[in-house]
Amino acid sequence: MTDDLLNSIDTPAVLVDLDVAQRNIQRFQDYARAHGLAVRPHIKTHKLPAIARMQLEAGACGITCQKVSEAEAMIADCPQITDVLITYNILGASKLTRLRALAQKVRLSVVADSKAVVQGLSGAFADAPAPLAVLVECDTGAHRCGVASPQAAADLAQIIADAPGLTFGGLMTYPPAGGEAGVETFMTAAKHLIEASGLAVPVITSGGTPSMMHAAEAPVTTEYRPGTYVYNDRSLVARGVCGWEDCALSVVATVVSVPAPDRAIIDAGSKALTSDLLGLTGYGHVLGRDDITIDQLSEEHGRLVSAGPIGLAVGDRVRIVPNHACVVTNMVDQILAIGQGRATPETFPVAARGCIR
């Protein structure tokens, strides 16, 4: 990116290089194809119909969303999205009503990890024109949601299969990084138990960018749901998953103060970079400046410190790779897209920003 272009941007701004994103999409799609895995990207990272289209055109089988409102926002502007998995326990009359409306528009599946959630879904879909596919969420080591054992997965699969308005759609997990062995053991056992009871297990879906290039080490898996891989971020560089040149998203900021020789303040704080640390020290990486640590964020200020002279002046622009790309996307109403032949940045509204319900 030229200095002129960088200096023309009103800051802070979130910049996305679509050429880098395209390369990241293709890299995992190639891996998945070579290993017979379907790819169902999680859109939480970009929240942009335009990038979902790029993922689908590269060969994705559909998209993953986390909330009903995300799915609504994504499909509103993207007829190419015809298959949506919502990897979340959906509860409550309002969301279930919207879920049923969504099922009229796309091939829809959801997950459940308890009888209570299954009962709610069944109540909403009992008289629906077509049954809703429900996958059992399994805890393979992340200790977030999910049934705790293969037997519990098999029991819940049967409850789903018996529930009016629902069909059993398979097994889903969000594994810990490096948890392929655990996924393989759990899912193989659950699959055998479920098949022994006469039910088919059409899909076994796992996901998570950190270990995506090891997805094939759990061969029971049929589908993978990476999210961050499209942009990458400082946490993934720190894990050795990618390099800075693979980071498609950066925050452009302006130096607003240089109050000391070793300190500068930028106009991007926690409202742009967020406070997510993901186990790291500091709040992002200033591209080209390995010596700088972003050691403190207020809402609108970021503090840059260096062991030597900071070498920045008021008005200078910096580009920062954030610790966590997904949460940064959620902070802004729009991103600036570059690449794919654009001479100047193009504004993309972040269609699914702030969709927490």
Q: Which stretch binds its own copies (CB under 8 A): 28-36, 114-122, 124-132, 184-192?
A: 114-122
Burial (CB < 10 A; 0-12, 13-18, 19+), residue 106, is middle
Q: What is the DSSP string of 216-268?
A: GGSTT--EE--SGGGT--HHHHHTTS--GGG--EEEEEEEEEEEETTEEEES-
Q: Report the residue from 49, 131, 141, 146 that binds its own copies according to the rule CB under 8 A.
A: 146
CA atoms within 13 A on the CB side of 245: 1
Shortest Å distance, C-beta 118 to its own copies: 10
Closer residue to its own copies, CB minimum distance, 32 or 172: 172
Closer residue to its own copies, CB minimum distance, 58 or 157: 157
Q: Which of 100, 86, 26 is nearest to 56 (CA)?
A: 26
Closer residue to its own copies, CB minimum distance, 58 or 276: 276
Shortest Å distance, C-beta 257 to its own copies: 4
Other CB atoms within 10 A of residue 316 CB: 16
Q: Which two tokens stand for residue 290?
A: 């390995």
Shortest Å distance, C-beta 33 to its own copies: 28
Q: Report the residue from 117, 136, 163, 201 that binds its own copies according to the rule CB under 8 A.
A: 117
Q: Which stretch binds its own copies (CB under 8 A): 23-31, 49-57, 112-120, 336-344?
A: 112-120
Residue 296 binding its own copies, by CB under 8 A = yes
234-253: contacts with its own copies (CB under 8 A)? none
Shortest Å distance, C-beta 269 to its own copies: 8
What is d(CA 221, CA 38) in angstroms, rounded to the nearest whole number? 9
Closer residue to its own copies, CB minimum distance, 12 or 282: 12
Q: Which of 163, 122, 118 is nearest to 136 (CA)?
A: 118
Q: Which two tokens stand for residue 105?
A: 């528009």
Q: Which stretch binds its own copies (CB under 8 A): 4-12, 126-134, 156-164, 239-247?
A: 4-12
What is d(CA 68, CA 87) in angstroms, rounded to the nearest whole number? 10
Q: Report the residue from 222, 254, 293, 306 that binds its own copies according to the rule CB under 8 A.
A: 254
User: Do 100 and 128 contact (CB within 8 A), yes or no?
Assistant: yes
Q: What is the DSSP string of 124-185?
A: HHTTSSSPEEEEEEE-SSS-SSSBSSHHHHHHHHHHHHHSTTEEEEEEEE-PPTT-HHHHHH
Closer residue to its own copies, CB minimum distance, 29 or 274: 274
Contacts of 340 (CB under 8 A, 6+ apart): 18, 19, 22
What is d(CA 277, CA 294) in angstroms, rounded to the nearest whole number? 11
> Pattern of binders to its own copies over 268-287, x per CB under 8 A?
x-xxx-xxxx----------
> Pattern of binders to its own copies over 320-349, x per CB under 8 A?
------xx--xxxx----------------
The size of the chain, in residues, is 357
Residue 151 binding its own copies, by CB under 8 A = no
Say whether 88 sits in a helix, a strand or coil: strand
Closer residue to its own copies, CB minimum distance, 30 or 333: 333
Q: What is the dihedral of CA 299, 300, 302, 303, to 10 degrees?
A: -90
> Pattern of binders to its own copies over 190-229, x per CB under 8 A?
----------------------------------------
Positions that interact with its own copies (CB under 8 A): 10-13, 44, 66-67, 88-89, 91-92, 94-95, 113-114, 116-117, 139, 143-148, 254, 256-260, 263, 265, 267-268, 270-272, 274-277, 296, 298-301, 303, 313-315, 326-327, 330-333, 354, 356-357
